[in-house]
Amino acid sequence: MTSFRGYVRELDSIRAVGSLIVMAYHFWPATHRLARCYDALSMVGWMAMDAFFVMSGFLIAGILLDSREKPHYFQTFYARRGLRILPVYYVVLSLMTLGLCFVDHGSGYRIFTTQWGSPFWFFCYLGNVVISLRGFGPDKTFGPLWSLQVEEQFYLTLPLIIHVCNRRTLSRVLWSLVVISPLVRAIWALCDPMIRWTRCDQDTCAGLYTLLPCRMEGLALGALIALRFRGGVWDLPRRRLTVFTVISLSATLVIAKLGGVHWYSPFNRTVGLLLSPLACALLVLWLICFRGTRWTSPARVPGLAHLARISYATYLLHMPVGNVVKLMLTPHWKGYSHSFLAMGLCIAATIVLATLSWFFLEKPILSLKDRFTVTRSRLKNYATAGSAA
């Protein structure tokens, strides 16, 4: 296999399927007779988050590695990233905050601030830090935003690391991050009597799950894949890679189940949170190596690319959309809480709104990215204009 750069259609399936799993997990009718499936979905749900982290590390590191020799490296990266993630994030976050302030005469906002703190921590991407300090997350509408805080904090540091480190040093730094995160979780669990190897609840272990130092391995593994594919020839034995990928995914599911389905079980919040990103990283490698073959044809199903494209807005919108649908349906539908039809309505409404967000907000803003970055052609124009003056 030669060095690799570029778009891999098969990788869209990870983001697309992951977003569907997260929505199914959050919208699952817990009172239904199939409520047992909720535990299994919970396990797959937190594994989907690790897949998102691996993909984010892979994509962002690839962009940075391909552009670090170009002029205005930092300006270009942060401008383009800002245009991609900030507009829709702040629009949705503002609407969620306004909903707390005005629905039911602002009682939601008063309860939110009294029990947890100001929602404006999420505006400065520090919501996950406050979750750790408080020991529990805010309401379910804001709760899933912790993962976006982790990613943005990683984006603030990764450009500098890639810019100042040579290839060998960068590889060592990234592997160190892979090792540090499980060590931090293990040391934290040993030192904190509240969460020592006991079966404590989700809120008690919030910091182990939401802080960047505790969740770096997935992002670092993704970045390592991007770095390795840009280092010349990398011959991966396909049969062996397939075996390792199947074994790692199966072992992660089985071991996580034995250790307790939920991420906050004693085993999963330490070792399990390492096994999951390793399995997801192998899956990314497998999809890249088998791209374009019949083995990955299910990952090229029409529609997955669109679901991947809107996955960011889907993640932002799904909880507030679910709350709105619940408020609209509950007074008129007594069976709402145990209906898969309601779950389907929430997922469909989220996808529709995320699609509208893409075409009418995100895509038009992204078309302006060249106006906020310095390209080679613009540099040439500036130089010509300067010499003429």
Asked if residue 24 has pLDDT above 80, the reply is yes
Q: Which of 194, 174, 186 minimizes the C-alpha distance to 214?
A: 186
Q: Is 17 helix (H, G, I), strand (E, B) or coil?
A: helix
Phi/psi at 199 (nearest 5 deg)?
Answer: -85, 75
Q: Which of 34-38, 133-137, 247-251 has the highest mean pLDDT?
A: 247-251
Residues 6+ apart with CB under 8 A from 187: none
Residue 350 contacts residue 342 (beta carbons within 8 Å): no
Q: How many CB atoms lie within 10 A of CB 172?
A: 11
Q: Is 95 exposed, middle or buried (0-12, 13-18, 19+ CB in 10 A)?
A: exposed
Average pLDDT over residues 56-77: 92
Write down the H helix ranges in the chain.
Answer: 12-27, 36-67, 73-102, 107-115, 127-134, 146-164, 167-191, 206-210, 216-228, 238-259, 273-289, 304-309, 311-329, 340-357, 363-366, 376-388
Lowest-confidence region among 5-19, 125-139, 170-184, 322-336: 322-336
Angle between helices 167-191 and 146-164 (to 10 degrees): 140
Asked if residue 246 has pLDDT above 90, the reply is yes
pLDDT at 17: 93
pLDDT at 389: 35
In whole angstroms, give the CA distance from residue 218 to residue 281: 8
pLDDT digits (tens, 9 = 90+) for 169-181: 999 999 999 999 9
Percent with pLDDT over 90 in the chain = 53
pLDDT digits (tens, 9 = 90+) for 338-353: 678 888 999 999 999 9
In whole angstroms, give the CA distance from residue 129 to residue 85: 20
In whole angstroms, give the CA distance from residue 340 to residue 92: 26
Domain-wise residue ranges, the chain: 9-376
Give the chain's mean pLDDT: 84
How far apart, in Å, do the first and last CA atoms of the chain sit?
51
Q: Which of 41-45, 123-127, 326-330, 384-388 has the highest mean pLDDT?
A: 123-127
Asked if residue 371 has pLDDT above 90, the reply is no
pLDDT band at 105 (very low <50, low <70, confident <90, very high): confident
Asked if residue 139 has pLDDT above 70, the reply is yes
